[in-house]
Amino acid sequence: MAGILDLLNSDLGKNIISGVSGSTGTDQNKTSSVLTMALPVLMKAMERNASTPEGAQGLMGALNSKHDGSILDNLGGLFSGGVDEEVKVDGDKILGHVLGQKRQGVEQVLGQKAGLDAGSVANILKVAAPILMGILGKQSRQNNVSSQSDLSGLLGGLLGGSSTRNEQSFLEKILDADGDGSVVDDVAGMVLGGSKKKGGLGGLLGGLFGR
């Protein structure tokens, strides 16, 4: 299974990045940076939430109904003439549910790294969250996900499955950030320090952090 970052590099991913950029009025490169950092963080948060039976049931319910992947069938329509307010409201709810009280800290941290204010990051994520849920819904249908372990396997696979401990730790740290920003510099050093490899999330984050 392709990971979420492979997907961002695909034609579909490029459409999503340019569409989100256009609909939020944000620079395309910065939008790409935010999504590259944010999508694994959101997936990691969902993986945490799905580790309880209630959380898994809630997520599967959403993927089997509203977020079944159909949003991906008409991305051109979604982005032409500005994204529907209903989609943003839905995205807002998804972010609140997935990130909870960590949301503000996550948005601040991503903004600092992408060179955007937290409000712009919030706008990008509100549009991206329903699309991410659609991607999960589509994968869930294709893989016949019907149990908590199936769901964990799907999320783990999209996160890269064999991610190194440092990269997982990076995602955990962003999720636990209190928004003061200092933690991210420490974490960036920890994840990227001494790492010369170019592949995977570490290499990608290395590129983003200019290391």
* Rounded Cα–Cα distance for residues 172 and 53 (Å): 21
Provide the angle, in degrees to the nearest 10, between the axes of the packed helices 53-64 and 118-142. 80
Over the stretch 131-148, which tens digit does the pLDDT of each residue have? 999 999 999 999 999 999
Over range 23-50, report the average pLDDT.
92
Q: What does the pLDDT look like over 78-119, one tens digit per residue?
A: 888 778 899 999 999 999 999 988 899 899 989 988 999 999
C-alpha to C-alpha distances, 66 to 6, 23, 30, 87, 151, nearest whole angstrom = 25, 22, 29, 11, 17
This prediction's pTM = 0.82
Q: How many CB atoms lie within 10 A of CB 199?
A: 7
